Amino acid sequence: MKRKIALLLVIFFMKANLSFSQNRVDDLMKKMTLDEKIGQLNLLSPGGTITGTMQNTKVGKKIKNGEVGAIFGLKGVEIIKKYQRYAVDSTRLSIPLLVGLDVIHGHRTIFPIPLGSSCSWDMDLIKQSAQIAAKEATADGIMWTFSPMVDIARDPRWGRIAEGGGEDPFLGSAISRAMVEGYQGNKLDDSKTVAACVKHFAAYGAPEGGRDYATVDMSKVRLFNEYLPPYKAAVDAGVATIMTSFNVIDYVPASGNKELYIDILRKKWAFEGMVVTDYTAINEMIAHGLGDLKKVSQLSLKSGIDMDMIGEGFVKTIKESIENGALNESDVDRACRRILKLKEDLGLFDDPYRYLDETRQNEIMSQENRLFARKMASESFVLLKNEKQTLPISDSKKVALIGPLADSRRNMLGTWSVSGDHSKAVTVKEAFEAWLPKENLKYAKGANISDDPIFAKKVNAFGKEIVIDERSAEELINEAIEVANQSDVIVAVMGEAADMSGEASSLAHIGLQPSQTRLLNELKKLNKPIVMVLYNGRPMTLNWENENMDAILDVWFGGTEGANAIVDVISGKVNPSGKLTTSFPVHVGQVPVYHSMLNSGRPELGKYQKFKSNYLDIPNTPLFPFGYGLSYTTFEISKPVYSNTNLNAGNSISVSVDVKNTGNIAGAEVVQLYIRDLVGSISRPLKELKGFEKVFLEAGESKTVTFKIDEELLKFYNSKLNYQAEKGQFEIFIGNSSNNVTTQIIELK
Ligand code: NOJ
């Protein structure tokens, strides 16, 4: 009885609280003029993050005039407080600003780029990274992050593949949930959590030709089954906001796309939060050919968009559109209410300065955060090759550390680390110096990242990432050979500059730059073991490297502590456990290549055949497939045991495997479950990831991993876009990589 009363009281207070906040928003709305409401819809940047040709001016003045509802691009309590004061002290209703920033893979302590951290397959770790980022960001005045980016990407030419979780919707959805939960915690008004913004809705990761911002065109079946799930997962996890994408869907730009924002997001998914455009995305609808600024702003507001980033289309045109009847004031009310609701949820009406606490500076870049970053970086690395146990390297060996990324602080953080301080990042050379006795380490640059000054200038838009040496290529190589000759093993730190991936960084050539291949060719002639440590923001073509290097460790961009993590793995202190989340093609001409492709009517059967779906010059399969990654130890996965091979609707079956660490050192394995729906009303993928578990095992230890298979897991969107499972046979695959599995047929009755 007592418990019941207590429960009723809790419900009563929750409801009372809800209606209190609702009332507060309603009361405010009643007091607001149309101009003030339109002002709330305006998101400007006083400087800082610039990702387009348009920039805002006189932001302070506009805030004081009540023309701005939110700002982004700033960091630091002092400066943000100054802007918050403009809103609180100088506007009629003192409505505080919402303050956002691109906190993407860490705030000041930078973690691995998202593509890297996805390779950890460790959702707790990913969630924790978002928690730490939120803590640092809020200590720095920020309450809203433009993350997670969950765009499924299968085209390594697209530079923004670096910012997401790879090619798979099931894994992508798990990451999306973990990030939202990490950023937002249980309460938005906790001053150590931030509101998240899932982006870019929708399907931004599939531009034609891999060229950023280009046309996206795909079937609805594909959109619903393969591209929408990670955004939906964020919505289900309670994400506060969503960002539009730059691309068209069915020839309509996302920021003016009613089907996406009203039919799917609001009606189907019941999303109640706020929608913000991407940078000038409304204005860009003019170039898309949808009309002038007035027209595209109308279209955008009518399509359910609430806030306009940078472009000022809403503030400049909405009032006139209402006056001439093209829009209703209720359209503005709807958007304004959502924005105010978010401010209320963040606790800004109780205290506009709650995220502006000068005493929290010690929470930023703490030793603890750096240690976490180091651990996370080492978990993101993927060991692609390790012949003759070249790795780990003992500290008694003489090491030649060579390569353009070995001593490059500017490239350690990776793309989209707007608050990262490069000077606080450790270089690979420094990490090696801290590890090896002085006499065992020699360094030479060996090559430039690229020798092409025109290319370098484009990549260096944010700073000197590609530094072309004054010495000639021959001189650099000769020095490297001299150093290598004095060593037992060569560690070649190669790859991309940080901004060779990321926004507006598409590439047609996704292999190493010629300057670097030339160096590796010369080093190879020395007949010494070579370990290639690869920095990259995308899958690269690595055929020659795979044939000629003894070991390849893919380290992505590991962030502030990435270099220390490299030493942890190279020295054997940490056993690598990352698995790829995007396939590495053998040739760029294979793109897209991914594990969940459909069969064709004329599938290739392992070797070239005329009148089959294959290439004359390259294989169909990628060089390194999805789910692949090596370890210093060996694992055995037992034959799966199924509780039943018949599945009745409403029931579930379980499948278990024992995973054993059969080597001499501790390590982690990612057990993966895939399905194939053998006969369906539409063609179904060859393999779809439907379960995974990462297990840590001491040497000799075994653990049982159990997956549950039920009807829900077998569902998909059919051609009528109904989400359902179809009765019949399914092939179930379990293994440690998408191409290393055992199979079993089950039947859904
Ligand atoms: C453009 C990018 O597409 C988006 O991801 C980012 O959040 C905004 N610029 C703001 O910087």
Same-domain status, 532 and 446: yes
663 occurs within a structural domain:
yes
Give the pLDDT confidence score for residue 606 in this predicted structure: 86
557 occurs within a structural domain:
yes
CA angle 91, 96, 97 (to 5 degrees): 105
Where does 258-376 show beta strands of DSSP type E? Answer: 274-276, 308-309
- 11 pLDDT band (50/70/90 cuts)? low
Atom of ligand 1 nearest to the CA of 200: 5
Last residue of a domain, one of 590, 615, 644: 590
Is residue 2's pLDDT more than 70?
no
Phi-psi category of 329—alpha, beta or left, where left has phi over 0 and alpha has psi -120 to 50? alpha
714 occurs within a structural domain:
yes
Is residue 8's pLDDT more than 70?
no
With contact defined as beta carbons under 8 Å apart, do 72 and 43 qualify? yes
The answer for residues whose C-beta is within 8 angstroms of residue 557's C-beta and 6 or more apart is: 112, 113, 116, 162, 411, 412, 413, 414, 415, 498, 535, 536, 537
**pLDDT tens-digit profile of 594-631?**
999 999 999 998 899 999 999 999 999 999 999 999 99
- Residue 45 CA, ligand 1 centroid: distance in Å: 12
Give the pLDDT confidence score for residue 3 in this predicted structure: 61
476 occurs within a structural domain:
yes
User: CA of 489: how far to CAs of 155, 277, 346, 391, 495, in Å?
Assistant: 34, 51, 54, 10, 19
> What residues form DSSP beta bridges with 652?
710
Report the pocket of ligand 1 as residue ranges, CB < 6 Å: 49, 51, 102, 146, 199, 278-279, 503
Distance CA 68, CA 33 (A): 14
Q: Say which of 168, 212, 278, 451 is annotated catalytic.
A: 278
Whose C-alpha lies nearest to ligand 1, atom 3?
278
Last residue of a domain, one of 590, 622, 644: 590
- 299 pLDDT band (50/70/90 cuts)? very high
DSSP string, 405-444: TTT-GGGSS-SS-TT--GGGSPPHHHHHHHHS-GGGEEEE
Same-domain status, 558 and 697: no
Is residue 7's pLDDT more than 60?
no
Tell the residue number behind the tokens 């090759």, with chain if given. Answer: 385
- Residue 705 CA, ligand 1 centroid: distance in Å: 40
Same-domain status, 546 and 456: yes
Same-domain status, 539 and 679: no
Where does 37-106 show beta strands of DSSP type E? Answer: 42-44, 70-72, 98-101
Give the pLDDT confidence score for residue 10 in this predicted structure: 53
Same-domain status, 582 and 691: no
Same-domain status, 494 and 389: yes
Atom of ligand 1 nearest to the CA of 418: 11
- 635 pLDDT band (50/70/90 cuts)? very high
3-class secondary structure per residue, 569-604: HHCCCCCCCCCCCCCECCCHHHCCCCCCCECCCCEC
**Other Cβ atoms within 10 Å of 263 Cβ, number:** 13
User: CA of 132: how far to CAs of 13, 126, 184, 237, 478, in Å?
Assistant: 31, 10, 11, 19, 45
- 9 pLDDT band (50/70/90 cuts)? low
Same-domain status, 643 and 586: no
Atom of ligand 1 nearest to the CA of 204: 3
711 occurs within a structural domain:
yes
How many separate domains does the chain show? Answer: 2
Give the closest residue to 494 by CA, choosing from 548, 439, 424.
548
- Residue 246 CA, ligand 1 centroid: distance in Å: 10
Give the pLDDT confidence score for residue 22 in this predicted structure: 75
Distance CA 615, CA 612 (A): 9
Distance CA 407, CA 410 (A): 9
293 occurs within a structural domain:
no
Give the pLDDT confidence score for residue 245 in this predicted structure: 98
- Residue 458 CA, ligand 1 centroid: distance in Å: 19
**In which domain, by residue range, is 644 found?**
635-748
The answer for residues whose C-beta is within 8 angstroms of residue 85's C-beta and 6 or more apart is: none
H or E element, residue 117: helix 114-118
- Residue 573 CA, ligand 1 centroid: distance in Å: 38
Distance CA 21, CA 29 (A): 12
Helices (H) and strands (E) in the chain, counts: 21, 27
- Residue 143 CA, ligand 1 centroid: distance in Å: 16
What token pair was written down for 70? Answer: 């939110």
> What residues form DSSP beta bridges with 554?
382, 534
**pLDDT tens-digit profile of 18-75?**
566 778 999 999 999 999 999 999 999 998 888 998 999 999 999 999 999 999 999 9
**pLDDT tens-digit profile of 714-723?**
999 999 999 9
Q: pLDDT above 90 covers what percent of the chain?
A: 96
Give the pLDDT confidence score for residue 1 in this predicted structure: 57
Mean pLDDT of the chain: 97
Give the pLDDT confidence score for residue 159 in this predicted structure: 98
**pLDDT tens-digit profile of 389-431?**
999 999 999 999 999 999 999 999 999 999 999 999 999 999 9
Asked if the bond preceding 473 is cis, omega within 30° of 0, the reply is no
Give the closest residue to 155 by CA, choosing from 123, 219, 203.
203
**pLDDT tens-digit profile of 472-520?**
999 999 999 999 999 999 999 999 999 999 999 999 999 999 999 999 9
Is residue 14's pLDDT more than 70?
no
Distance CA 316, CA 573 (A): 59
Same-domain status, 575 and 675: no
Whose C-alpha lies nearest to ligand 1, atom 4?
278
Atom of ligand 1 nearest to the CA of 199: 5
User: CA of 232: how far to CAs of 173, 185, 265, 306, 335, in Å?
Assistant: 8, 18, 8, 19, 21
**Pocket mutation for ligand 1, best pick of 104, 145, 163, 243 (most atoms within 8 Å of C-beta):** 243
Last residue of a domain, one of 533, 557, 590: 590
How buried is residue 289: exposed, middle or buried, by Cβ count under 10 Å (0-12/13-18/19+)? exposed
542 occurs within a structural domain:
yes
CATH number, domain with residue 698: 2.60.40.10
Same-domain status, 426 and 536: yes
Give the pLDDT confidence score for residue 85 in this predicted structure: 98
Atom of ligand 1 nearest to the CA of 146: 7
> What residues form DSSP beta bridges with 733?
674, 743
**Torsion angles phi and psi, residue 93, rounded to 5:** -105, 5
563 occurs within a structural domain:
yes
**pLDDT tens-digit profile of 567-584?**
999 999 999 999 999 999
**pLDDT tens-digit profile of 107-164?**
999 999 999 999 999 999 999 999 999 999 999 999 999 999 999 999 999 999 999 9
**pLDDT tens-digit profile of 182-240?**
999 999 999 999 999 999 999 999 999 999 999 999 999 999 999 999 999 999 999 99
Asked if 168 is an active-site residue, the reply is no
Same-domain status, 643 and 734: yes
Same-domain status, 491 and 582: yes
With contact defined as beta carbons under 8 Å apart, do 435 and 395 qualify? yes
**Pocket mutation for ligand 1, best pick of 43, 101, 146, 255 (most atoms within 8 Å of C-beta):** 146
Distance CA 543, CA 441 (A): 29
Q: pLDDT above 70 covers what percent of the chain?
A: 97
DSSP string, 621-660: S-SB-TT--B-SS-EEEPPPEES-SEE-TT-EEEEEEEEE
Same-domain status, 406 and 551: yes
Distance CA 31, CA 92 (A): 10
Give the pLDDT confidence score for residue 309 in this predicted structure: 98
Give the pLDDT confidence score for residue 12 in this predicted structure: 57
Which of helix, strand or coil describes residue 8? helix
**Pocket mutation for ligand 1, best pick of 279, 307, 416 (most atoms within 8 Å of C-beta):** 279
With contact defined as beta carbons under 8 Å apart, do 582 and 167 qualify? yes
